[in-house]
Amino acid sequence: MLQKKICLLGAFGVGKTSLVRRFVDTIFSDAYLTTVGVKIDKKLLTVGSEQMALILWDIAGEDDIAAVRVSYLRGAAGYLLVIDGTRPETLDTAVSIQGRVDAEIGSVPFVALLNKADLEEDWTISMERIAQLEAAGWQFRRTSAKTGAAVEETFQELAALLAR
Amino acid sequence: MLDLPARISDSLLMLLHAQRVLAHLVVDDAQNLVQAGGHLDHYGLTGLQSGGLASDQIPFLEGLLPLVETPFLIRSMEMPSGRVADVHFFADDGTVWILLLDVTAEYEEARLVQQKAYDMTLLSQREARLIAQLEAANQELTLAHRELAASREALQVTHDRLQDELREAERYVRAILPPPLAEPLAVDWRFVPSTELGGDSFGYHWVDDEHFALYLIDVCGHGVGSALLSVAVADTLRSEALQRTDFRSPAAVLTALNQAYQMERHGELFSTVWYGVYHRATGELRYASAGHPPALLVSGPCEAAGEGRPLPANGPCIGISPAARYQEERCRLPSPARLYVFSDGTYEVGRPDGSMLEFSALAEALSRPVAGGASELDRLLECARDAHGPGVLEDDFTILKMTL
């Protein structure tokens, strides 16, 4: 069976673990529990006519003190950059991480998730900046781990990209 | 490395082994699992088979091998059992050794500290965003307040200008009112509009040497529109500007006035008018009313209590129907006596409790004796103001007195 490693990256508190829990276990909890280190999950998908195992690396979020260990991305076929729509600074973190990942492992497919779409009325993120990044080739999806909106679809989309 | 005796090195290894619950995996250069040992159960890594692809059995190895650097460490990886391990990778002669050391206790400690720190950071970020939103809202409010103040200032300027113009108009309206007369007939009046410009107006003049006309107009409503119409009607009567009309004939005057001032051509305003003509030689008063309150005749001298008698007359208001006709009334005025003509604002005065002053109170106030140079007109005005309480009267207060 085809097996692909993908990593979830982003600032702390953007919802990486919640997205994995929604995708793997179809559950969500409002309680915020921080991630230390890394947690690995496996999810089987069907891509086209083939079965694929996604090995999901939920990596502790970046903060002012600790940067993401990009060496953990070795062997990753793709990654998801997660941004909290209610916290504009998490977009800056995502842009910074993407640059470092690109330098460490080269160009691999990624999708940027504007998460917490259920709180869209509270979003303060700059849509102008999003448009600039889209023009630079970034693909954005609006997701909500809380409601499940666009979560399954986004993982499927990335898996399809990796299967090519 | 420390140059330790073998016995101490061994003891240290035993200590590490006991505290860190060691487990190991060995993968060859074909990435097949060739060996697994130690406390694998502790980490939930059970049922491992030597010979197969390592990453098929141990998902976290996917993509990591062959090693790019050695040694390589992945800190605090949560294992299938829920325990947390530091995962050490060492290349050794064509194979890769993977050692798992339990760090669950340190992980829990670090997680609690990190949780607290992140909670605080998220709170402070949220606070900063809220403060920024409040500051933005405050700026908007300040701006709106400034704009409001500017609008208010502009409104005040406009208001002051309009007030000045109203005062100017009021001065004009007062200036064209006839002055009180002393000879040969004494006429006095009080005029207190409810706003700067009222709907009342009046006049009197000699039509000829024998006939003295006296009239009072009350246009519905108050303000500029009513005042303009009232002044226009008064001027029409004063200047006798109704063609083919005998101004000695009150019924003819009101009929012509009604045709000249139909409401559809005068701002939908109508009015009540009392018009009377006194014939000096005979002492006869001829009068007619267009919806106006009756005049009051009080016989006897001012200094003594008199008897008040309303002079009845009926007729429709001016301006409502062009076909309206007016009945002329006649009566002989005794001497001494006073004839009062007034608008309804002199007695239809609301009290604070909701009740109204009545016509009988007006008749009573005007019939009482007057002494010491005082005027019953002032007394009546005082009576109306006392009944009304503080503030301006709600209707125009206008009264004319002709003394015989």
Q: Output the pLDDT for position B359.
A: 87
Interior angle at CA B367, CA B272 and CA B211, nearest 5: 50
Which backbone phi and psi does A50 adopt, to 5 degrees? -105, 150
Cα dihedral B23, B28, B34, B35 in deg (nearest 10): -20
| Chains A, B: CB pairs < 8 Å | 72
Cβ within 8 Å, pair B118-A89? no
Following CA atoms B280, B298, B363, B248 in sequence, which dihedral angle do they give, to the nearest 10 degrees?
-10
Query: B66 near B95, Cβ under 8 Å?
Result: no
A3: nearest CB among B62, B72, B129: B62
Angle between helices B224-238 and B250-260 (to 10 degrees): 140
Q: Which of B62, B64, B76 sits opposite A37 (nearest CB)?
A: B76
Cα B91 from Cα B71, distance rounded (Å): 7
Helical residues (DSSP H) of B200-299, grouped into ranges: 224-238, 250-260
Average pLDDT, chain B: 92
Per the CB < 8 Å rule, is A37 touching B74?
A: yes
Identify the pLDDT of residue B196: 64
Put simply, the answer to whether A89 touches B125 (Cβ < 8 Å) is yes
Of A5, A60, A63, the CB nearest to B63: A5
pLDDT tens string for chain A (164 positions)? Answer: 899 999 999 999 999 999 999 999 999 998 889 999 999 999 999 999 999 999 999 999 999 888 999 999 999 999 999 999 999 999 999 999 999 999 999 999 999 999 999 999 999 999 999 999 999 999 999 999 999 999 999 999 999 999 88
Across the interface, whether the CB atoms of B111 and A34 are under 8 A apart is answered yes
pLDDT level of residue B297 (50, 70, 90 thresholds) = very high
How high is the pLDDT of residue B335?
A: 86
Q: To which residue do tokens 């779409």 refer?
A: A117
Is the predicted pLDDT of residue B357 greater than 90, yes or no?
no
Stated as kind and residue range, the H or E segment containing B35 is strand B33-38
Number of H helices, E strands in chain B: 7, 15
The pLDDT-based confidence of B174 (bands split at 50, 70, 90) is confident
Residue B89, pLDDT score: 97
* Burial class of residue A126, CB neighbours in 10 A (0-12, 13-18, 19+): exposed
Residue A37 has its nearest CB partner, among B62, B72, B78, at: B78
Looking at residues B328-348, what average pLDDT do you find?
A: 92
Structure confidence by residue, pLDDT tens digits, B36-80: 999 999 999 999 999 999 999 999 999 999 998 999 999 999 999
Q: Which of B96-105, B195-204, B212-221 has the lowest mean pLDDT?
A: B195-204
Q: How far is B36 from chain A (nearest CA, A)?
A: 20
Rounded Cα–Cα distance for residues B290 and B317 (Å):
5
Going from N- to C-terminal start, the domains of chain A cover 2-163
**Residue contact B115–A33, C-beta within 8 A:** yes
pTM score of the predicted model:
0.62
Residue B7 corresponds to which tokens in the numbers above? Answer: 């016995």
Class (C level, CATH) for A2-163: alpha beta
Whole-number pLDDT of residue B1: 64
Beta bridge partners of B53: B32
Closest CA to A4 of A38, A61, A49, A45: A45
Quick one: DSSP state of residue A120? G
With a CB cutoff of 8 Å and minimum separation 6, the contacts of B29 are B66, B94, B95
